Amino acid sequence: MYNKGLFILIFLSSWFSQAQLKDSLDLTEISYHDNFLEKLESQPLLYSKDLLKNVTQTSLSLESKKLNFKRVQTPEESITYQFKTESFFSLSEKLKVFGRFNFDKIEEKQMGFNSTLERTENQAVLTPNYFYAPQKGDWDNQIFDMMGGASYLINNHWSVGGVIHYKNHKAYRNIDPRPDLQLADYSAKVHLGYSFKKHQFIANAGLGSASTTASIIYVDDIVLMR
């Protein structure tokens, strides 16, 4: 499975809130900046004129779910271990950098064979599989998700920015049939902004690619009985 896309998007956005460069805004106290790191990934120029405090957020989490769906391709139980860290730094009034790193390890208990990374927990009907084996087994998933970007204020009118993103998802199980699935997804986007009074024009262009590889291994175990 292989997809490649080139996309260009131009839009107009208005500033409903303006921050004075002489002031330093505390991200933990102002609701306008809630989830601002997620917004930066899609539009890094939204904060190019704001002088924000540096911030780093790190978290560890453990989630366990019992799934009582009577579907072969839904695990009976899943356990997710997650490490997540994200940062934003104002290196100067003009230059800002940001990024995040996520690592997920997911253990899926007793799920049937699946030759894709899709699950019937999330959708009732999966993409057609040309090979099917109902035998259930435990799956291991490892997901790396990384993003980094920067914005630079050239002058009071022009700004430029960029974002790169990479995700790798590997899933496998240790009983026959033994699938080994791997997703590699990466993209890059550049942004150019022009500000006029309280309005900002932003144009961006990006290139992305995603590919999924799948393999199936069989191991014949011969048991001799006397």
**What confidence tens digit (pLDDT) does each residue in 150-196 have?**
999 999 899 999 999 999 999 998 888 888 999 999 999 999 999 88
Mean pLDDT taken over the chain: 79
Q: What percent of the chain has pLDDT over 70?
A: 76
68 or 165: which leads in pLDDT = 165
Least confident of 53-57, 80-84, 105-109: 53-57
Tokens 């009985």 locate to 225
Question: Virtual CA dihedral for 7, 12, 18, 21, nearest 10 degrees?
Answer: 50
- Tell me the CA distances in angstroms from 7 to 21, 206, 208, one per residue in order: 33, 6, 9
Domain coordinates of the chain in residue numbers?
Answer: 2-217
- State the pLDDT at residue 93: 87
pTM of the prediction?
Answer: 0.75
